[in-house]
């Protein structure tokens, strides 16, 4: 069976290739922080990639489909695409946050980051401030996914019973929360990269 014909098998194949490369380059010694960073990055690409898809492709496309009275409508997207995309979206969000918490915890920076480097004895206040801002933005975004977007999407998709009025309200609430995450993701990514590589125009 060709693993490229199935997205799950393709994902597994990519992970296997990465692990084989790790062994070939660095041997069999397990480096936990490196693994945590890789897990955090891959999960984050899943999460933010889907967030951008929702905001720049699916949501505008559904609005156009609703406005096109003679067109096919958006039923196929809401029935087949959205539930699958939301599954990967919400679990990737959780995996990204847990991976980041794991990375910060094992490096001894969890409390320092979430206190924005304000705890006494902080060894790298610039790093902790910048990575901490990113961590807080990511935490707000995770809350939006699980506490606001997903409960309202369940009403929109018919997973939870809701009236037409409740569905209309749910669309607005979920859409706003998703758009907030879209906006916050941009400074969040800047901070995640900027903590070790310097902020644009500022430097580390």
155: pLDDT strictly greater than 60: yes
More confident residue, 105 or 202: 105
The Cα–Cα gap between 199 and 192 comes to 9
Q: 99: burial class by Cβ within 10 Å (0-12, 13-18, 19+)? A: buried
Q: What is the reported pLDDT for 201? A: 61
What is the enclosing helix (H) or strand (E) of 125?
A: helix 125-143
What is the enclosing helix (H) or strand (E) of 112?
A: helix 110-114
Tell me what the mean pLDDT of segment 54-60 comes to: 95
The Cα–Cα gap between 49 and 93 comes to 11
Tell me what the mean pLDDT of segment 149-162 comes to: 96
Tell me what the mean pLDDT of segment 63-86 comes to: 89
Q: 130: burial class by Cβ within 10 Å (0-12, 13-18, 19+)? A: buried
Give the sign of the dihedral formed by CA 127, CA 93, CA 140, CA 107.
negative
Percent of residues, the chain, with pLDDT higher than 90:
72
Are residues 97 and 142 in contact, defined by beta-carbon separation less than 8 angstroms? yes
Task: Please state, in angstroms and as integers, the Cα–Cα distance from residue 109 to each residue in 102, 125, 138, 191, following that order.
Answer: 10, 11, 16, 15
108: pLDDT strictly greater than 50: yes
**Cβ of 81: how many Cβ atoms within 10 Å?**
15
Task: Please state, in angstroms and as integers, the Cα–Cα distance from residue 38 to each residue in 42, 71, 198, 199, following that order.
Answer: 6, 43, 20, 21
The pLDDT-based confidence of 141 (bands split at 50, 70, 90) is very high
Nearest to 130 by CA among 177, 186, 191: 191
Are residues 155 and 170 in contact, defined by beta-carbon separation less than 8 angstroms? yes
Tell me what the mean pLDDT of segment 58-69 comes to: 90
Q: What is the reported pLDDT for 204? A: 46
The Cα–Cα gap between 117 and 121 comes to 9
Q: pTM here? A: 0.90
Q: What is the reported pLDDT for 202? A: 60
Structure token digits, residue 73: 């409508």
């Amino acid at each position: 069976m060709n693993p490229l014909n199935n997205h799950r098998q393709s994902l597994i194949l990519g992970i296997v290739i990465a692990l084989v490369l790790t062994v070939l380059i660095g041997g069999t010694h397990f480096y936990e922080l490196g693994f945590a960073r890789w897990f955090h990055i891959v999960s984050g690409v899943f999460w933010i990639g889907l967030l951008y898809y929702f905001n720049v492709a699916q949501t505008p496309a559904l609005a156009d489909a609703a406005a096109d009275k003679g067109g096919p409508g958006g039923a196929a997207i809401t029935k087949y695409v959205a539930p699958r995309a939301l599954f990967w979206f919400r679990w990737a969000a959780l995996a990204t946050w847990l991976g980041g918490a794991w990375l910060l915890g094992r490096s001894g920076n969890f409390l320092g980051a979430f206190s924005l480097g304000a705890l006494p004895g902080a060894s790298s206040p610039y790093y902790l401030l910048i990575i901490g801002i990113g961590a807080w933005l990511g935490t707000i975004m995770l809350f939006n996914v699980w506490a606001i977007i997903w409960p309202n999407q369940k009403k929109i998709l018919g997973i939870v019973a809701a009236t037409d009025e409740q569905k209309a309200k749910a669309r607005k609430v979920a859409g706003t929360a998703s758009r907030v995450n879209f906006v916050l993701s941009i400074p969040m990514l800047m901070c995640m990269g900027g903590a070790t590589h310097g902020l644009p125009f500022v430097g580390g």
